[in-house]
Each structure stands twice: as C-alpha cells, then as structure tokens.
C-alpha cells in the first residue's frame, strides 16, 4: 500500500514538474517573441511593423476570402491556420491543420479546399474552414514528385489558368540530373487530372512566384548556386514569357556566367536571362505584386521580395524585404523596403523573412521562420 502511495505521489510530482516546464517554456517563448527588437526594423516614412501571429517556423502563406491565414513550414511537420476574430490586426486563434508531414512548406487554396505540398506529394483538405478544429481529412492529389529533400520543399500557388504550379528544385548545389525531367523546373497540373507539365526549365530552386495582375505573366525568384565565391553568381528574378523556356541551370548563371563544371560547350545566350540580378547568396524566396490600396500610389503593383539571407558568405547579406519597380520589359529598380533583421556590425541575425502576401485592407504580411512569427506592415500617413 505504501509503495502504491509513493508511486502515486511521484507521478503527481512528475506531472506537476512537466506542467511547470511546459508553462515555463510557453511563457519564455511568449516573452522572447514579445521582446523581438522591432524598433530595429527600418521602413520608409509612414510605415510601421507589428507582430500579427506566432507560428513555429512560419514559411509559405495563403489567405482565404474570409480571412483565415494558412501557414506551412519546412523544419517541422505541421500546417497551421490562424485567425484574427476580433479585427484588431493580431491573430487570436491558432489551429494545427495536420501534422506528421514531410516539409509541408507549400500551401494554396481553391474552391474552399486547402492544398499542401510536401517533398513528393500534393495533399488536399476539403472544405477546410468548415473543419477547423476537427481531425483532418487528407486526400492525395499527386504523389509522383521526386523524394529528394535537398531543395525538395515547395512553394505552390494556383495560376490564372486554374492550374496548380509546383516547382521541383535541383537535388544538389550543382548537378545535372537527366534521369527525371522534373528536376530544376516549375511544373503545373490540373488537380482534377494531375499530370505534371514542365513550364520552366533550368530553375535551380524557386520558393516564390506570383502573376503580374496587369500582364498575367508568371514572375519567380531563383536561388543561385553556392561555392563560387562571395559575389557570384547572382540570385535571380525571372519572367516566364512562354511555356518551356530554359533559364540556364546548371550550365549558365545570371544570364552571363558559365558554370565552371557544366558550362563548357554551351552559350549563355541560349538561355533566358533574369530580369533582375540580386546579390549573390541573398536567397530571394516569397514574392508578391502589391494589390492593396493602403500604401501610397507609388507602391501600386510594386513587387515585394523576401530575402531569407545568406549562409555561406564571409559576410552575411539579405535578411530583408525588397521593393522592386518594373515595366513591360522587366524590373527597373530594387531598393530595400524593410531591413534590420541583420546587424551588419556583429553579423548576427534575429529574423529571416520568407514569404509576403497582401491583406484585404492593404497591409502586407511577412513570415519569418527564424523568429517564428508573422509580421504585419501597414501605412498610417493616409
């Protein structure tokens, strides 16, 4: 009897400790997030930044018509939904849509259904908003993408043609894989009859794209290869003018730099050059044409690009959001719009922007997979 009592008391004590530890962790995490030095973020006059939601490893985002924000992640196994139910521009409800997924980075919506891209599989979650808080119904749409995890995480979106666009990164830093035409490409498929079609080739690793609302053309970022030095090759911003175009990888980089291993016997003039060259290693990811009415008129249809930041450069670069002007011929100017996540002096970063979307009120949301938050950037001087 004494033994049973002792075991019971020990169990109670362990539960109490576990509860305290969980509470302490939650409080510590909340304190850490609330203590993020947002005052260090530099923005143009009249703009301000605030925390919209707290989501672990927040990556790609998609917003429903009713305002539910769905968020994928890469280093964890979950997909989230957050809602601002009281209209104060801060999310107050969080749902775990599903878990146990392999790099569920990409999220997209169509006809009320949520689509999630893992490394090799596209899933559908029917009538997702009506089922928030309930066990998920997960349906396989297509499971024939490569299983490589190197550049295997995906950004997905439905295009103006109603098809789902799905990139497939190169399964390496630099290589030529001819055993599967899907490598280093952007594909599209009809989710009702999923047969991937390659629409862009020679794309090393795009984790963000959007369609120009005026021209309907697909613009996409691309991450340049590593191990060629601090300053080459550039990361890229590209435009798709016709299905099947080739953008150079692995033979040519930035429209003019032959690859030292695979460039022999080829000409960079054979490939589509980028419409804008970012700095090397800045890692441009999510991009968004500004469609809102909150910002000054000069921002109408401007492109916002999240630069995730370098990992193999002697001095770090990126860690910011860029604003890009463009015309019918391509991009014309790129300037930092939001920066300060990286301290140039100490070379320490406390945040890494990933994706950008426009809210119905005209503010933009920026996800950060390092600080585990989503920011809201708004304009007040209206």
User: What pLDDT, in 10s, does the model give residues 159-215?
Assistant: 999 999 999 999 999 999 999 999 999 999 999 999 999 999 999 999 999 999 999
What is the model's pLDDT at position 382?
A: 56
At 374, list the tokens.
């989503």
| Segment 257-302, tens digit of pLDDT | 999 999 999 999 999 999 999 999 999 999 999 999 999 999 999 9
CB 322 within 8 A of CB 337: yes
Average pLDDT on 43-59 reads 98
Residue 381: its pLDDT value, please?
77
Mean pLDDT of the chain: 92
The region of weakest confidence among 14-23, 111-120, 313-322, 339-348 is: 14-23
Q: Which residue has the tokens 């015309």?
A: 327
pTM: 0.91
Please tell me the predicted confidence (pLDDT) of residue 177: 96
pLDDT at residue 34 in the model: 58
Does the pLDDT of residue 6 top 90, yes or no? no
Asked if 167 contacts 201 with a C-beta cutoff of 8 angstroms, the reply is: no
Q: Does residue 21 have a pLDDT over 70?
A: no
> What is the reported pLDDT for 19?
40
245-246 and 193-201 as β-strands: parallel, antiparallel, unpaired? parallel
For residue 13, what pLDDT band results from cuts at 50, 70 and 90?
Answer: very low
CA–CA dist 63, 25 (Å, integer): 30
Q: What is the tens place of the pLDDT at every residue in 203-246? A: 999 999 999 999 999 999 999 999 999 999 999 999 999 999 99
Taking 70 as the threshold, does the pLDDT of residue 10 lie above it?
no
pLDDT of 17 reads 34
Task: Show me where the domains of the chain are located.
Answer: 37-379
Round to whole Å and give the CA distance between 172 and 152. Answer: 10
Residue reference for tokens 């973020």: 41
CA angle 124, 128, 134 (to 5 degrees): 110
Check whether 5 has a pLDDT greater than 70: no
With beta carbons less than 8 A apart as the criterion, state whether 107 and 116 touch: yes
Q: Does the pLDDT of residue 8 top 80, yes or no?
A: no
**What is the band of 346 on the pLDDT scale with cuts at 50, 70, 90?**
very high
The arithmetic mean of pLDDT across residues 98-103, rounded, is 98
Summarize the confidence of residues 62-69 as an average pLDDT.
Answer: 97
Tokens describing residue 215:
């021209």
288 forms beta bridges with: 304
Cis, bond preceding 233 (omega within 30 deg of 0):
yes
Q: Is the per-residue pLDDT at 11 higher than 90?
A: no
pLDDT at 288: 98
Class level of CATH domain 37-379: mainly beta
β-pair partners for 239: 219
Q: Which residue has the tokens 């340049």?
A: 224
Angle at 113 between CA 107 and CA 118, to 5 degrees: 35
pLDDT of residue 247 exceeding 60: yes
Percent of the chain clearing pLDDT 70 (strictly above): 91
pLDDT category, 35, cuts 50, 70, 90? confident
What is the reported pLDDT for 328? 87
pLDDT of residue 16 exceeding 70: no
Quick one: three-class SS letters along the chain? CHHHHHHHHHHHHHHHHHHHHHHHHHHHHHHHHHCCCHHHCECCCCEEEEEEEECCCCCCEEECCCCCEEECCCCCCCEEEEECCCCCCCCCEEEEEECCCCCCCEEEEECCEEEEECCCCEEEECCHHHHCCCCCCCEEEECCCCCCCCCCCCCCEECCCCCEEEEECCCCCCCCCCCCCCCCEEEEEECCEEEEEEEEECCCCCCCEEECCCCCCEEEEECCCCCCCCCCCCCEEEEECCCCEECCCCCEECCCEECCCCCCCCCHHHCCCCCEECCCCCCEEEEEECCCCCCCHHHCCCEEEEECCCCCCCCCCCCEEEEEEEECCEEEEEEEEEECCEECCCCEECCCEEEEEECCCCCEEEEECCCCEEEEEEECCC
**How many whole angstroms separate alpha carbon 25 and alpha carbon 18?**
10
């Amino acid at each position: 009897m004494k033994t049973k009592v002792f075991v019971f008391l020990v169990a109670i004590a362990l539960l109490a400790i576990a509860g305290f530890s969980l509470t302490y962790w939650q409080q510590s995490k909340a304190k850490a997030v609330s203590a993020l030095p947002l005052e260090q973020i530099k923005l143009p006059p009249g703009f301000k930044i605030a925390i919209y939601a707290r989501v672990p490893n927040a990556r790609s985002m998609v917003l429903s018509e009713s305002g539910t924000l769905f968020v994928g992640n890469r280093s964890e196994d979950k997909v989230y939904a957050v809602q601002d139910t009281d209209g104060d521009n801060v999310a107050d409800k969080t749902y775990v849509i599903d878990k146990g997924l392999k790099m569920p980075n990409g999220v997209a919506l169509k006809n009320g259904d949520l689509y999630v891209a893992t490394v090799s599989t596209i899933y559908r979650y029917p009538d997702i908003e009506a089922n928030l808080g309930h066990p998920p119904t997960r349906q396989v749409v297509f499971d024939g993408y490569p299983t490589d995890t190197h550049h295997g995480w995906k950004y997905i979106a439905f295009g103006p043609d109603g098809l789902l666009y799905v990139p497939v990164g190169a399964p390496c830093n630099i290589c030529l894989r001819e055993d599967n035409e899907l490598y280093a490409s952007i594909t599209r498929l009809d989710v009702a009859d999923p047969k991937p079609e390659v629409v862009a080739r020679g794309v090393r690793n795009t984790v963000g794209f959007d369609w120009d609302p005026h021209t309907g053309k697909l613009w996409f970022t691309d991450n340049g290869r590593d191990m060629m030095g601090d300053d080459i090759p550039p990361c890229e911003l590209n435009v798709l003018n016709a299905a099947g175009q080739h953008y150079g990888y692995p033979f040519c980089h930035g429209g003019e730099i032959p690859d030292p291993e695979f460039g022999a016997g080829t000409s960079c003039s054979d490939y589509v050059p980028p419409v804008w060259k970012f700095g090397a290693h800045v890692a441009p990811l999510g991009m968004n044409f500004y469609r809102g009415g909150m910002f000054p008129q000069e921002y109408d249809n401007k492109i916002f690009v999240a630069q995730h930041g370098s990992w193999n450069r002697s001095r770090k670069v990126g860690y910011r959001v860029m604003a890009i002007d463009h015309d019918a011929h391509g991009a014309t100017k790129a300037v930092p719009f939001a920066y300060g996540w990286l301290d140039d002096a100490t070379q320490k970063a406390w945040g890494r922007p990933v994706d950008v979307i426009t809210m119905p009120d005209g503010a933009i949301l920026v996800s950060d997979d390092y600080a585990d938050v989503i920011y809201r950037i708004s304009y007040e001087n209206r």
